[in-house]
Amino acid sequence: MSGIWPPDPGGPASHAAALARFLDGRGHTVSVVTTAASAPAAEQFEIHWARRSLPPGVRHVAAAFSVARRAARSDVVYATSMIRRAALGSTTARTPYVVKLVSDEVFERASRSGRFAGSLEEFQSSGGMRTRVLRRTRDVALRRASVVLCPSAYLERFARAWGVDPARLVVLPNPAPAVPNLPSREAARAELGLDGQLLAFAGRLGPQKSLAVALDALQRAPGVTLAVAGDGPERGVLESRTRDLGLDGRVQFLGVLRHDQVLRLFRAADASLLCSAWENFPHTIVESLAVGTPVIATAVGGVPEAVREGENGLLVPPADPEALAAAIDRFFADEPLREKLSANAAPSVAPLSEESVFAEIEAVLERVAR
């Protein structure tokens, strides 16, 4: 089950769909439970969905009930989000479940609502009664899972602190996508109408991604343009700040793109940009590297586990536009460095092919289902 599903943007949506297709292609019977604004496109397997327009409580119950019904005739449940509902539905059906832990959702909920403005580490020892209840129910759901997959060693350390049995924890990075026959960088730029020194960002335009820092850095790096793919609650604020900083011609907001279009955007760029305040192991960094495009990113969470300074990208501290601008200047000023990072990009994530990572998930699910 997954809280988001294509055409929703974001790594968890593309991961869930790609894994479902992989398992279906390997002869497994797959049944998906998700939430959506409207009916998802038909697939070769069943997709059951709860409408997002329902009141939250009703939607949560509907999703849990749907999981319980499908779990009753399944050997194992795999949850990429909605962990509590997955646990409730699976436990009701007495079916084992596996969780892919993508974040501390209690922290993300508090951050998005404005109730907390600090770091993930600081959040672990803060919060009122509501936060404690959410933490407790999260921990119970995770501890009852047969296996908890963590995309980064960084997040695995938090799971241990939440009381998950280390024997049930497996670190498995997010996969690099199967790259379609992409055009050359020059042809991709011509298709998208982009040129010059180009950076690309793809993701949800929310507080976590700290794109205001990128705009401030861009003001310090003349001649560099930024293409932004995605949407979210901060898009209007970011567009307004772009105008205030006089960056209208240098920042393009492209809106939500399909997954294949995001790959083409990364292919067109000289480097992808990630200036997040916090991260686990974002799909976009392996997507960018897979198409041969290095990454300029903040050294937060599990990012340094994939982006290695001076090898396939550049790393900077979070919330530091001057450091980010300096890294951008260094990248474009040093041609040998730029060529080295580009040459190392795709090989650095070759061991993380979808075939390899999905086969490991398949093995976990088969083991748990026995």
Mean pLDDT value across residues 298-311: 97
228 plus 291 within the same structural domain:
yes
Please name the residues in contact with 258: beta carbons below 8 A apart, sequence gap of 6 or more.
7
Residues 165 and 195: their CA atoms lie apart, in Å, by 51
213 plus 132 within the same structural domain:
no
Please name the residues in contact with 278: beta carbons below 8 A apart, sequence gap of 6 or more.
107, 119, 120, 208, 300, 301, 318
Q: Return the pLDDT at 300.
A: 95
Domain assignment present for 2: no
235 plus 279 within the same structural domain:
yes
Domain assignment present for 282: yes
Task: Confirm if 229 and 200 have CB atoms less than 8 A apart.
Answer: yes
**In this structure, how many other beta carbons lie within 10 angstroms of the beta carbon of residue 159?**
23
Q: How many distinct structural domains can be found in the chain?
A: 2
Residues 193 and 314: their CA atoms lie apart, in Å, by 26
- The closest alpha carbon to 18, from 354, 256, 263, belongs to 354
269 plus 315 within the same structural domain:
yes
Task: Confirm if 87 and 97 have CB atoms less than 8 A apart.
Answer: yes
Task: Confirm if 308 and 348 have CB atoms less than 8 A apart.
Answer: yes
180: pLDDT strictly greater than 90: no
Domain assignment present for 53: yes
For the segment 14-63, what is each residue's pLDDT rounded down to a tens digit? 889 999 999 999 999 999 999 999 999 999 999 999 999 999 889 989 99
Q: What is the CATH number of the domain that holds 320?
A: 3.40.50.2000
210 plus 192 within the same structural domain:
yes
Q: Return the pLDDT at 114.
A: 81
Residues 86 and 84: their CA atoms lie apart, in Å, by 5
Domain assignment present for 280: yes
205 plus 290 within the same structural domain:
yes
What single-letter amino acid sits at 176? A
CA distances from 98 to 5, 149, 221 (A): 18, 8, 45
166 plus 214 within the same structural domain:
no
270 plus 338 within the same structural domain:
yes
User: Could you tell me the pLDDT band of residue 263, with boundaries at 50, 70 and 90?
Assistant: very high
Residues 268 and 253: their CA atoms lie apart, in Å, by 15
CA distances from 124 to 103, 110, 162, 209, 318 (A): 13, 12, 10, 20, 19
357 plus 346 within the same structural domain:
no
Task: Confirm if 194 and 260 have CB atoms less than 8 A apart.
Answer: no
User: Could you tell me the pLDDT band of residue 10, with boundaries at 50, 70 and 90?
Assistant: confident
335 plus 200 within the same structural domain:
yes
- The closest alpha carbon to 280, from 148, 173, 140, belongs to 173
203 plus 133 within the same structural domain:
no
The number of angstroms, rounded, from the C-alpha of 213 to the middle of its chain's C-alpha atoms is 19
Domain assignment present for 1: no
Residues 216 and 87: their CA atoms lie apart, in Å, by 43
Q: What does the block give as tokens for 15? A: 């991961």
Domain assignment present for 34: yes
Task: Confirm if 3 and 59 have CB atoms less than 8 A apart.
Answer: no
Q: What's the whole-model pTM score?
A: 0.91
Quote the mean pLDDT of the chain.
Answer: 94
Domain assignment present for 96: yes
163 plus 200 within the same structural domain:
no
Domain assignment present for 6: no
For the segment 101-140, what is each residue's pLDDT rounded down to a tens digit? 999 999 988 888 888 888 889 899 888 899 999 999 999 9
Domain that holds residue 46: 11-175+353-369
For the segment 80-94, what is each residue's pLDDT rounded down to a tens digit? 988 999 999 999 999
Which residue has tokens 């992409």?
A: 182
